Amino acid sequence: MRAAIFEQFNGPIPVVEIAEPECPGDGVIVEIKACGICRSDWHGWNGTDPDISLPHVGGHEFAGVIVETGSDCTQRQIGERVTAPFILGCGICGECQHGDATICDHQHVVGFSGFGAFAQRLAVPHADFNLVQLPEEIDFVTAASMGCRMTTAYRGLVDRAQLQPGEWLAVHGVGGVGLSAVMIAAAIGAKVLAIDVNDDALKMASQLGATATLNVSNLSNVGAKVREITSGGADVSIDALGITATFHNSIYGLRKLGRHVQIGMPLGEHAKPDLPLLDLVYARQISIMGTRGIASSRFSGIFGLIADGKLDPGKLITRQVSLDQVGEVIKGMNTYTDHGIAVVSQF
C-alpha cells in the first residue's frame, strides 16, 4: 500500500510502497478515507517527539471504512464508517474501564507509538473499545478534522475545565487546536478572547465565534491586557501552543480561582517555564490542569453539538490535499503561517 513516510527528521516525506498492516486479533483494518495533518505530526517529523523512531508513518486524525476484522473483534462490521481518538486504550485496565483511556498505561498512540494514517490502510487494535461509529451526516473529511484538535479542545474545556456559558475563555495561540477551542466555547455559550501574533489567524478566530481578539506581537504585559479586556481576568485560559511565553501569558491572564488548561504539547527548550507558586497558585488560587486527547466514549458530546447545529467542524478545514502533499504541508508548519486544518482526502 502507499504511505507517506518519515525517513529522516526534517527531511522529505516521500510516498512509497510499504507492507500492508496485519489485522490484530481484537482489531480491524480501516481503509483510510481522510486524515488531518496536525502540528503534532510536525513535532514527530522534526524529531522533538520522543515516541517517534524512524522510519515512521505519521497521521493520527483519521476516518475511514472497516475492511477487515480480527477473530476476537465482535462488535465491528466490515463496511462500517468509523473514526477513533488518537490515544487507543487497552480497554481492560482500571483507567479504561472508568472512561479515562487517555491515561491508560498500555495505550497505543496512532501515528506516534505505531504507524499512522498517512497511508491507504491502518491497523487499529482493541477495536471494540476504541472505534467510534460515524453518524451518517458526518462525512469523512469532517470526521478526520476532529480526531485530535477538536476532540482535545472539547475534553480540555468541557471535561477538564468545566467551562460554563457566560464565562470568559482566553485562547493563547489560534492554530488548529486553538481555533477548535474557540468554536467549542462559542458553541456552549462562553465568551472567547482569541490571542495570537498573527492577524490572519485572529480574523479566522473572529469568524469562528471569538468575542474579541488580541494581537500580542508588540505587547510586553499580555496577562494585564487580558485581565483588562475580560474585566478582571479569564475564568478559563488555555495555552494552545505549548511554549514558555504562551504558558506564562495564560496563567497571568486568569482571574482569581481561574483555571488554566495546558493543551499545546510543551516540547523542547522553548517549553521550560518556571511556575509563580506564591503569586498565582497560592495567592490567586488558580488551578493548572493538563489534558491530552479524549476517550472514544466522549465523542458523543461533540456529535451532540453538531446535531444541534451549534458546531460545524467543517468550517475549520481550509484545504484538502493528496498523500503526495503531506510533506509540503508539514514543512509549511515551520513558519506558523498556515491557519485552519489541512486534510488528506486522496490516497
157 contacts Zn ion (rule: CB under 5 A): no
User: Does 163 sit near Zn ion (CB under 5 A)?
Assistant: no
Instruction: Output 61 or 68, the one with its CB closest to Zn ion.
Output: 61
Residues in contact with Zn ion, total (CB under 5 A)? 8
- 3-class SS shares of the chain: helix, strand, coil, % to 5: 30, 25, 45
Answer yes or no whether residue 148 interacts with Zn ion by CB under 5 A: yes
Q: Which stretch binds Zn ion (CB under 5 A): 31-39, 48-56, 200-208, 222-230?
A: 31-39
- 10 Å CB burial of residue 139 (0-12, 13-18, 19+) is middle
**93 part of the interface to Zn ion, by CB under 5 A:** yes
Please select the residue that binds Zn ion; options are 90, 153, 306, 343, rule is CB under 5 A.
Answer: 90
Q: Shortest approach of Zn ion to residue 104 CB, angstroms?
A: 3
Closest CA to 293 of 159, 92, 119: 159
Task: Residue count of the chain, please give it.
Answer: 347
> Per rule CB under 5 A, is residue 89 in the interface with Zn ion?
yes
Closer Cβ to Zn ion, 148 or 194, answer by number: 148
In this chain, which stretch among 103-111, 212-220, 266-274, 305-313 interacts with Zn ion, using CB under 5 A? Answer: 103-111
Is there binding between residue 21 and Zn ion (CB under 5 A)?
A: no
Q: Segment near Zn ion (CB under 5 A), from 42-50, 90-98, 190-198, 246-254?
A: 90-98
Tell the smallest beta-carbon distance from residue 151 to Zn ion (Å): 10
> Residue-wise over 188-206: b if at least 16 C-beta within 10 A, else e?
bebbbbbbbebeebbebbe
Q: Does residue 341 bind Zn ion (CB under 5 A)?
A: no
Residue 26 CB, nearest approach to Zn ion (Å) = 13
Of 9-17, 104-112, 128-136, 153-161, the segment contacting Zn ion by CB under 5 A is: 104-112
Query: x/- contact string, 270-309, with Zn ion (CB under 5 A)?
Result: ----------------------------------------
Quick check: 40 binds Zn ion (CB under 5 A)? yes
Of positions 15, 28, 37, 38, contacts Zn ion by CB under 5 A = 38
Give the DSSP letter string of 230-298.
TTS-EEEEEESS-SHHHHHHHHHTEEEEEEEEE-S---STT------IIIIIIIS--EEEE-----GGG
List of residues 6+ apart from 299 with CB closer than 8 A:
83, 85, 132, 146, 151
Least distance CB 39 / Zn ion (angstroms): 7
Judged by beta carbon, residue 117 or residue 226, the one nearer Zn ion is 117
Dihedral sign from CA coordinates of 317, 247, 331, 193: positive
Determine the residue type at 280. Answer: L
Distance in angstroms (rounded) separating the CA atoms of residues 224 and 195: 13
Nearest approach in angstroms of CB 74 to Zn ion is 18
Closest CA to 131 of 64, 195, 184, 72: 64
Centre a 10 Å sphere on the Cβ of residue 283 and count the other Cβ atoms it contains.
Answer: 11
Least separation, in Å, of the C-beta of 73 and Zn ion? 17
Which residues of this protein are in contact with Zn ion, per CB under 5 A? 38, 40, 89-90, 93, 96, 104, 148
